[in-house]
Amino acid sequence: MNQVEYKAFCVCRDSFRTITEEIDAELPDLRKVQQRLIDERTGPRYNVDTPVVYNKALDDVDGNAEVKLILVGDNPGRREQAAENRRYLVGPSGKIAESFFKNETTLGIDFRKNVLILNKTPIHTPRTADLRDLCRLGGEKTRRVVDASQTKMARLLADFFRAFCVPVWITGYSEMRKRGVFESYTAGLEDLVRRGTIDKDSLFLYRHFSMNQFTIDLHKKTRPGKSAAETLRAIGTGYRKRILLV
């Protein structure tokens, strides 16, 4: 990236860190609510290290980096919030994503070097669907902060997009529907498109990398004579038109 891009990147990165710090301040008891959620559900038990996760991988980015893609996941899970990680997409989904880009050499993208990773909210839950239970356990204030965090992360995406003007892949489109857990993120994104802050034709929506949903969908919809890039553009555009009302 050039000097102008790197300066803009640093501003965006600082804004991201501020968003997480503000949520921590607004919800001082969030860790307790998250721990209660974990202890009451079926599944692996673990201690919450990081209630609100800033993606520390961004701190490794310097002026020599080349950003080719912005990828947006859901929210930090068990591995992402762990004290030894505090990075996005480092669990099974991240390994699948890394393998995908390694195998699709025609895309020319190194997942760990060329992809800037964000989420729809930095608030941790064991599973994305658990955000509903987190809001229920935490009460109205928690719900408001979770919704507001999605709006802020949509704006942050627009800021990063303006810095690099690269394609944006948003995975996990199903919960972006009306009454989905990321309805507020979708509303914020639609508002930004209407304002011309972000180019809708640069937005592509996909299924999750988890359980190979992304790859299975790609293989299912690949047609003879079409490159991976062409197929991905068609899939991502189709889901975007289905979800975003702009």
User: Stretch 99-120: mean pLDDT, rounded?
Assistant: 96
Interval 189-211: pLDDT, tens: 999 999 999 999 999 999 999 99
User: Quick check: 6 pLDDT over 90?
Assistant: yes
Question: Torsion angle of alpha carbons 13, 166, 107, 57, nearest 10°?
Answer: 0
Task: Take residue 132 and report the two structure tokens written for it.
Answer: 């509903």
Instruction: Let me know how long the chain is.
Output: 246
**Residue spans of alpha helices (H) in the chain:** 3-26, 30-40, 78-81, 92-103, 111-114, 130-138, 140-164, 183-194, 213-221, 228-243
What pLDDT shows up at residue 102?
96
How far apart CA 120 and CA 112 sit, in angstroms, is 19
What does the pLDDT read at residue 117? 98
Q: Residue 245: pLDDT band by 50, 70, 90 thresholds?
A: confident
What is the rounded CA–CA span in Å between residue 123 and residue 232? 29
pLDDT (mean) for 34-59: 94
d(CA 162, CA 170): 16
Question: How confident is the model at residue 246, as a pLDDT?
Answer: 86
Global pTM reads 0.96
For the domain 3-243, what is the CATH code?
3.40.470
Distance CA 17, CA 20 (A): 5
Q: Residue 44 has what pLDDT? A: 87
Q: Report which of 171, 120, 129, 136 is spatially closest to residue 42, judged by C-alpha positions.
A: 129
104 pLDDT tier (thresholds 50, 70, 90):
very high
Domain ranges of the chain: 3-243
Closest CA to 170 of 86, 19, 69: 69
